Amino acid sequence: MDEMAGLASSSFFFKIDRKIELYLKIYVDLNKNQEIAGGLIGDIKGVKGKGIVFDIKSFLPFPNLASDKRNFSDIPKLWFEILDEWRIFQHPKQKFIGFLHSHPLNSSKISTQDKEFANSLREKYGTIVFIIIGENKTLRCYLFKNEEPVLIGGKNNYYKCLLR
């Protein structure tokens, strides 16, 4: 895959640490029939000539509490507190930069429910990326800088990053 997929927004893109992507791949493969989700930790930094990159360094999975594991139930607020605690102790120099979840049986397009959730995160954490892994190894990364998200491209190796 191209190292840098096309950019829908010229000044933002994302980057997933290679190990984290590999880990994600294994994790998603292990849970083919259920939705997985978790918080993304990393840095928001500049890259010469490219703009701003959301550099994903770590992923903390959240348990899927839904009775139907193909969907994800509401995420307790406490888990974000745990995530924050984990970040402070394990990645003190990094910050919460987004959220990732899968659509095991659907495309990686964002749903209305996803948007609402992402906007609630944006209100709390500022600009975030919202990554969705869909069926057929596709991935979309939405940038929530404002209420309406924009698709951004990025550097990843295993998933096919879609920009439409």
Partner 1 sequence: MGDRPLKTIKNILNGLTIPDLITVCKNYGLHGYSNQVKDDIIALIVENVKNPHVKESIKAIIPANGTTALILKFISDHDNELSYLRLKEYLLQYRTLSTFRGNFNKMIENRVLFEIKGDNDSTVLIPKEFTDLVTRIIDANVEPEEIKAISSLKGSSRDFGLPLTPTCNGCSYVDKSWIQKKIQESPGMRDYPGCNLYKTYNGYDWVCNHFTIESVSKEPLVEKRKEKQVNLEDFTIAAVASGVVASQKSLDMDANESLINEIQDTATLNILRHTLDKLQIPYLVKDISSWNNAKSFLRDLSMDQLETVYKSVFLIPSFSAFGTLANLTEALETQGFDFKKKDIRTWTLASEYLEAYSCDDLARLYKEMMIVAVLKYAEKFGDLGTLEAIFSEEFKNPMILPSIQDARIQLANLSLDELTLARNEMEDRWLDHMLEAEPIEEESEEESKEESQVTEGSSTEDVIEPISDISEDSQGLARTSNIKEQIDEIINLTLSHKALIKNIQHESTCVMHLIWAIQQAYPDYINEVQIPGSDDIADIVLPSIDLAIEAKFISKLKLGGVSNAKARQIEKLGRGACLSYLSKYKYALLIIFSDSTDYIRSVAHLDVHQDRNIFVRGIDWNKLVD
Interface positions with partner 1 (CB under 8 A): 11, 19, 22-23, 26-27, 29-31, 34, 43-48, 51-53, 58, 60-65, 67, 69, 76, 78-79, 82, 85-87, 89-90, 93-97, 124-127, 145
Geometric angle at alpha carbon 100, from 33 and 126, rounded to 5°: 155
Smallest distance from partner 1 to CB 126, Å: 3
Question: Is the CB of 14 or the CB of 162 nearer to partner 1?
Answer: 14
CA distance 117 to 20: 23
Smallest distance from partner 1 to CB 153, Å: 17
First to last CA, the chain: 17
- Alpha carbon 71 to its chain centroid, in Å, reads 16
Question: Is the CB of 8 or the CB of 43 nearer to partner 1?
Answer: 43
63 residue type, one letter? P
Smallest distance from partner 1 to CB 145, Å: 8
CA distance 154 to 21: 12
